[in-house]
Amino acid sequence: MKKKDQSAEEGILQAARKAFTQKGLSGARMQDIADEAGINKALVHYYFDSKEKLFTLIFEQEFAKLFANLAAVITADIPLFEKIGQIVALDIERLNEFPDMPLFVINEVSRNPSRIVKRLKQMHAINVLESFQMQINSEIKKGTIKKISAEQLLINIQSLCIFPFVAKPMLKKVLQMNEKNFQVMIQGRKKELAMFIINAIRI
């Protein structure tokens, strides 16, 4: 149900985010969004034209969250081990705030990969990767860490952070955790994950 004092437009956005992240593009229903927002279905079209356009709006917001501040931390001029700690902290923090965002984004990119092409050009992923690779190479040369590519290290970090949230309902069932147990488990990771990664590459 709606909070009646907020504008219809904002209410629709909230309802749409909920519907799309929970059920995906094809699973979500315009009628459900209208009901959740407490307004008529025609009003959804009045404000946002089509389902596709409304979806794209929500998707772009969520996609932006996925990489928010990440490039800045990766390219920051701080020691590697400290940087790994900061990336993990940033990831877990963001994921705690938006737990079902990554599965949503991953899903919709899988269904329509070209959707993110425009956004990617603004991200300069390759530059970020190159800068990170240089820092890593420098540490390898110093003999402080083992040989590894920036690509693999970043994939490892993101895998370790993101996957438990993507697979949350399955992990909960398989490991027979309730919501509280899951939160405890995540808190445990928050502390241990950075050290796990640093130990993995440290000589």
Contact of residue 19 among a second copy, DNA, none (CB under 5-8 Å per partner type): none
17 binds DNA (CB under 7 A): no
Q: Which of 10, 52, 82, 151 binds DNA (CB under 7 A)?
A: 52
Rounded to the nearest 5°, which phi and psi values hold at 93? -60, -50
Range in contact with a second copy (rule: CB under 8 A) among 1-9, 72-80, 131-139, 167-175: 167-175
Q: Which of 40, 127, 149, 183 binds a second copy (CB under 8 A)?
A: 149
Contact of residue 30 among a second copy, DNA, none (CB under 5-8 Å per partner type): DNA
The angle, 0 to 180 degrees and rounded to 10, between the axes of the packed helices 41-48 and 30-37 is 100
Question: What is the Cβ-side half-sphere exposure of residue 136, based on CA atoms within 13 angstroms?
Answer: 20
Contact of residue 45 among DNA, a second copy, none (CB under 5-8 Å per partner type): DNA
What is the maximum alpha-carbon separation in the chain?
65
Contact of residue 125 among DNA, a second copy, none (CB under 5-8 Å per partner type): a second copy
Q: Which of 6, 23, 52, 183 binds a second copy (CB under 8 A)?
A: 23
We find the least distance from the C-beta atom of residue 8 to a second copy, in angstroms, to be 27
x/- mask, a second copy, residues 102-141, rule CB under 8 A, reads -x-xxx-xxx-x--xx--x--x-xx--x------------
Residues that bind a second copy (CB under 8 A): 23-27, 100, 103, 105-107, 109-111, 113, 116-117, 120, 123, 125-126, 129, 146, 148-149, 151-152, 155-156, 158-160, 162-164, 166-176, 185, 188-189, 192, 196-197, 199-202
